[in-house]
Amino acid sequence: MSKFALSLGSVVLMLIFIACGIIDGFNKSSSTWENERCDTTLHLEQWNIIDLVSPFSQADTLKDALILPPQVWLVIVKNGKIQQLNAVFAPTFQAPPAELISWTDSIRSDTLSWLDRAYLWTLADRPDYPYHRYEQLLESTRKRFIEKRDSMMSDYLGQYPKYKLRINSDLRGNRSQKRHLTMGKSVSPLSQHQFGFASDVPIIYRGRQLQNIRYYKTFMDEIGGKYGLTWGGTFRGFIDPNHVQYFKNSSEMLKQFPELRYEYEAFGKYFKNRVKTMTEAGKADKIEDTQALLATLHDLHKGKACVCDSLAERPTPTNITKISTDFYASKLQPQRDILLVGDLDSQTITLFHPTGIIKTFRLGVWQ
């Protein structure tokens, strides 16, 4: 082989490492959200379902193309053989998924938890409200929030009977939050509203909503503070006077409910860009909560599987294509069902979609 060929090969390898942020990380003594990288030189011996579906979590156009609720199949391959096999289904796109356990193969994986079933079903589901995806997990805490909010409102009306209160917004869907973001009424694609932990409660006097922030300081800061609630008027980056929430910020919510990181993983770039933009504008003091969120998210996914932002899509391994052909011939309806195949040998994950789309990604490890 010529020296030129060796040199070219080294350059290509160098570009791949740079694209995935690996070389940049060699000189960093510790891993933080600021220098985290998806290291494709590292391999995992097992994967979590949340990390296998995350690369496809924003495939909303693919979801919209589904005509009937599919069966969603997960196959894990190791040493060239099927190691794990699971499938979920639901009567409607919005319904909670059940596990399909009626096949007769010699391979029989352990039953999935309700949460893993929910993660796998995200390849097909269409809930506008993230809360509904995690209701089993969040319901009791949401009840505590509502009790505190209602007590705060009752306290206020007892002291100031000439005013009225109205709940303008409580549980909020993704589409509504996106409109709030577009209209400048929020600075985040995710809010505690979407998980059932926030409400907007304006004060009404003589049929009109009061705007002066001093009224809300008495209502939500002083009275709400007695119940441990956080007032939107204290936010650094975006003042929201008639907003009250259960957790101080998203970081605190994720620490209590790390299962929600799936919802935040897809917006990692958005949050990092916001920190960068605000810092360059001399407003670093206004993004402390965003930095805390990124730090918590990093702690939660460090050491887990990830997809490098660049050069991640790869040709589908031949053995994986054969597995898909065999499955569609014996178990799946190719015009309806979704197949997700993780190959521990090649460290790839492949999605076979009824639209005919096939995508294979090379997985690395968050560092």
Q: Is 198 exposed, middle or buried (0-12, 13-18, 19+ CB in 10 A)?
A: buried
State residue 12's pLDDT score: 43
pTM of the full structure: 0.88
Q: Which amino acid is at 76?
A: I
Q: Which amino acid is at 166?
A: R
Confidence of residue 59 (pLDDT cuts 50, 70, 90): low
Mean pLDDT of 152-159: 97
State residue 311's pLDDT score: 66
State residue 237's pLDDT score: 75
State residue 111's pLDDT score: 86
In 10 A of CB 311, how many CB atoms? Answer: 15
Mean pLDDT of 46-50: 96
Beta strands in 213-255 (DSSP E): 230-231, 243-245
Check pLDDT > 60 for residue 190. Answer: yes
For the chain, domain boundaries: 3-39, 49-127+305-366, 135-256
Q: Look at the alpha carbons of 209, 210, 213, 217 in this order and tell me if their dihedral is positive or negative.
A: negative
Instruction: Return the C-alpha torsion angle 131, 86, 357, 93, nearest 10.
Output: -40
Beta-strand relationship, 72-78 and 338-343: parallel
Confidence of residue 308 (pLDDT cuts 50, 70, 90): confident
State residue 15's pLDDT score: 46
Contact 84, 153 (CB under 8 A): no
State residue 217's pLDDT score: 95
Q: Look at the alpha carbons of 345, 348, 351, 352 in this order and tell me if their dihedral is positive or negative.
A: negative
Specify which residues 23 forms β-bridges with. Answer: none
State residue 270's pLDDT score: 94
Q: What is the DSSP letter of 313?
A: B
Lowest average pLDDT, out of 19-33, 139-153, 236-250, 288-302, goes to 19-33
Mean pLDDT of 131-145: 97
Check pLDDT > 60 for residue 11. Answer: no
Q: Which fold has domain 135-256?
A: Muramoyl-pentapeptide Carboxypeptidase; domain 2 (3.30.1380)
State residue 102's pLDDT score: 57
Confidence of residue 106 (pLDDT cuts 50, 70, 90): low
Lowest average pLDDT, out of 17-31, 52-66, 115-129, 324-338, goes to 17-31
Confidence of residue 24 (pLDDT cuts 50, 70, 90): very low
State residue 257's pLDDT score: 98
Check pLDDT > 90 for residue 113. Answer: yes
Confidence of residue 104 (pLDDT cuts 50, 70, 90): low
Confidence of residue 96 (pLDDT cuts 50, 70, 90): very high
192-233 pLDDT, tens digit per residue, is 999 999 999 999 999 999 999 999 999 999 999 999 999 999
